[in-house]
Amino acid sequence: MSLLTVGTVAFDTIETPHGKAEMVIGGACTYISIAASYFTKNIQLSAVVGDDFPAKELDYLKSRGVDLEGLQIKKGEKSFFWAGRYHTNMNHRDTLVTDLNVLANFDPILPAPYCNAEYVMLGNLTPDIQMQVLDQLKAKPKLVVLDTMNFWMNVAMDSLKKVIAKVDVLTINDEEARQLSGEYALVKAAKVILTMGPKYLVIKKGEHGAMLFHQNKMFYAPALPLELVTDPTGAGDTFAGGFIGYIAKTGDTSYENMKRALIYGSAMASFCVEKFSIDGIKGLTQERIERRVQRFKEMMQVSL
Ligand code: AMP
């Protein structure tokens, strides 16, 4: 079993009502691969950084079992940089800076073993690059999940729709679902999006949880209510990493198992938001993850 993850490996500067973290480690692929590493060890990473990216952070990824053969390190160039500021309602944030830097010319050449990946997580990235990755795969994967964001809808909607047409699962947030579909009601938006190609749609609703749509079926997983959300950055990516990591571990791509994967993804995201950057998802144990999943289970049970 192998899980290919693609996306940004980046520096972030983040302001939330609880503080500011400057030039910390971020990037969709970073969060995805760390979260997935708690479920499966055969993770292949395809991304690009500049030579400003700290070696010790790459060593940390390696220590989590993430294969970095597909990570390109460009001499004399700067890594992708993103800066964002969250509102008091941390479901809302403003992007202050997106510096593509090294990402602008990224050619995601996959090492040979990556071309037979069984599970593929296309993290938030230029849609053309996501497509280039799909084009290099030799065998049809068991599952391809794609995550994206409003930024790419604004600047590359046509390319994005082409890649969306090729994946099994699309994960986006509620505002992005509205933008992509042109429908406000999420149930209607989901219906429209499911005609665009994906068989499954996950709509992330921040502190209000996540919804899974498939055919005429719908499942809702709440987010764990927390006393303190320090930094929501990467919650969506961490969710995606936990989601596909759980599916890869269990080898079961059925709708019923995706419902369980939604809970595992949500549990991982709940750790992510407790601290700035990747600090909330470093050093977790299986016991802590299972205990948190148990809290979801208790929260969702009712005798009627
Ligand atoms: P999330 O909070 O799940 O949307 O993910 C935030 C992470 O995505 C940050 O660590 C950023 O480095 C990264 N990011 C922000 N904007 C983009 C973008 N346009 N494309 C790819 N990754 C991005």
CA-based max dimension of the chain: 63
The answer for residues whose C-beta is within 8 angstroms of residue 204's C-beta and 6 or more apart is 171, 172, 173, 174, 210, 235, 236, 239
Residue having the nearest C-alpha atom to atom 16 of ligand 1: 82
d(CA 66, ligand 1 centre) in Å: 20
Which atom of ligand 1 is nearest the CA belonging to 233?
2
Query: Does the pLDDT value for residue 220 go beyond 90?
Result: yes
The phi and psi torsions of 234 (rounded to 5 degrees) equal: 85, 0
Which atom of ligand 1 is nearest the CA belonging to 11?
12
Query: pLDDT band for position 1 (50/70/90)?
Result: confident
Please give the average per-residue pLDDT across 250-255, as a whole number. 98
Please give the average per-residue pLDDT across 153-160, as a whole number. 97
All structural domains of the chain, each given as residue ranges with its CATH number in brackets, are 3-297 (3.40.1190.20)
- Are 206 and 89 spatial neighbours (Cβ–Cβ below 8 Å)? no
Report the distance separating Cα 2 and Cα 242, nearest Å. Answer: 15
pLDDT of residue 199: 98
Question: What tens digit of pLDDT does each residue of 26-61 get?
Answer: 999 999 999 999 999 999 999 999 999 999 999 999
Tell me the pLDDT of the chain averaged across its residues: 97
pTM above 0.85, yes or no: yes
Q: Is the CB of 26 under 6 A from ligand 1?
A: yes
Q: Which of 31, 48, 82 to mutate to test the pocket of ligand 1 (most atoms within 8 A of CB)?
A: 82
Query: Does the pLDDT value for residue 115 go beyond 90?
Result: yes
Please give the average per-residue pLDDT across 178-192, as a whole number. 98
Query: Does the pLDDT value for residue 91 go beyond 90?
Result: no
Query: pLDDT band for position 191 (50/70/90)?
Result: very high
56 burial via Cβ count (<10 Å: 0-12, 13-18, 19+): exposed
